[in-house]
Amino acid sequence: MKMRLDEIARAVEGKLQPGTATSLEVTSVAFDSRALKAGALFVPLEGERDGHDYIESAIDHGAVAALWADERVADAPADFPVIIVANPLASLQHLAKYYLAKINPKVVAVTGSNGKTTTKDLIAGVVQTTFNVTKTQDNFNNEIGVPITILSMNSNTEVLVVEMGMDRPGQLHRLSELVNPDIAVITMIGEAHIEFFGTRAKIAEAKLEITDGLTDDGVFVYDGDEPLLADHPLDKDLRRFSFGRQGTNDIYPTQIEESDWETRFQTNRWQDFEFTIPLIGDYNVNNALAALSVGELLKVTPANLRSGLAHPNLTANRAEWVKGNQGELILSDVYNSNPTAVRAVLQAFSNTELTGKRIVVLGDMLELGDHSEQMHAGLADAFDSQAIELVFLVGTQMTALFTALMKRYQPEQTLFHYSADQLSELAQDLRQHIAPGDEVLLKASHGMHLEKILTTLTSSDNE
């Protein structure tokens, strides 16, 4: 982005300090004082500490101006441009909405209990074969991340693909009203965040808030195999486009072939085309179908649809194969976890071809509430001791699965359990069991930090 300071002040209805050079140009927006780029507008937000306290760090790292809460106007830095506002977070959102209207791209919003990040990446891969695209980076999918994503757009952006996360009612409503999507995608309804919602039906209600801000001619793209989506009466008469496995959907697969590194499939809509995605597991076909749905709605040609799916820029640690330092292959899926996702990746992992043994490392699935013990224990029937030889579990909630698996595995021989603060011990024990040709699956909620295990298994310092 490029925007003069006086334009930003008007957009957020803020007040520039007297003597500020109104023609000063801002080229980016950031809330982390350590990670901003030269030319940035610093937005101090309240977290564990008040972001206003980091203004000197922001200046040292190249910030050229800042938003500033009026309640802290007495602490505003001297001789540094600030825009006085009532609420910096609200002003960040107002600025994003202003900039979005200024660039005016088509907006594709994506949410879902599982697969939203992969689907976002596949959509961007498909659409960028034809248009200039900006997409959500990393986990910038909440009230702060979505505005930052919008403000990261280049002026030539034609399509914005924005991921939206949710952990409470009303959150997606506000995000949808912020971006006013032309296409709203729900990948599926699972158990993620059931601690806060109680039932899958209430999760579906909250996910459907993504349609609240749809443009008048917008399209709702959804998993048509899910009754909670397919049968839900929405407030507006929306155009719908469904994907899934059943022949009643607008797009569905007619053939699927899996391998250890990719998945190939054909669909009812382009019968002469075989599509390939660089992901294992037929569950990822649904994510690809969602991407194809968006591509067709944006009139991407079949040849470009195929090319875009085959060569997406995928976010790290979402079912990503990584080479370990002992000659093993690691399937890293350490960003989030819930029962549906674990079952799907276990099935795919259990069917790979290998010369060694399969080892599974699972950490707690968080935010399952009163259902947690039952849902953890219920994963036991997804384990085949002939296909998966060693199981390492970490976290308090995994105690239930450990107990359930004792009928199939021998504790301290093929079945191991660790507390969340024993990651170092887990990594050390795991390394002793790994040999060249083995495959290791790492899967847990992000709060369990299994990425530390991944670092240990891949670091050259441990070779």
Which residues are documented as binding site for ATP? 112-118
Cα(310)–Cα(292) distance, integer angstroms: 12
3-class DSSP state for residue 425? helix
Long-range contacts of 59-65 (CB under 8 A, 24+ apart): 61/33, 61/34, 61/35, 61/36, 62/36, 62/37, 62/38, 63/30, 63/33, 63/36, 64/24, 64/25, 64/26, 64/38, 64/39, 64/40, 65/5, 65/8, 65/20, 65/24, 65/26, 65/41
- Helix (H) or strand (E) run with residue 225 in it: none
Residue 80: which of 103, 56, 101, 97 has the closest Cα? 56
3-class DSSP state for residue 449? coil
| DSSP annotation string for 102-160 | HH--EEEEEE-SSSHHHHHHHHHHHHTTTS-EEE--TT--STTHHHHHHHT--TT--EE
**Can you list the alpha helix ranges (DSSP code H) found in 158-271?**
171-179, 194-197, 200-207, 227-230
- Within a 10 A sphere around the Cβ of 40, how many other Cβ atoms? 23
Question: Roughly how many angstroms between the first and final C-alpha of the chain, as a whole number?
Answer: 44
Cα(34)–Cα(127) distance, integer angstroms: 33
Residue 189: which of 110, 290, 112 has the closest Cα? 112
What's phi and psi for 323, nearest 5 deg? -85, 125
Binding residue numbers? 112-118
Beta-carbon-side half-sphere exposure of residue 4 (alpha carbons within 13 Å): 7
Residue 438 CA to its chain's centroid (Å): 28
Cα(18)–Cα(120) distance, integer angstroms: 44
The answer to whether 5 and 23 are in contact (CB under 8 A) is yes
The answer to whether 373 and 400 are in contact (CB under 8 A) is yes
- Helix (H) or strand (E) run with residue 440 in it: strand 439-443
The answer to whether 365 and 340 are in contact (CB under 8 A) is no
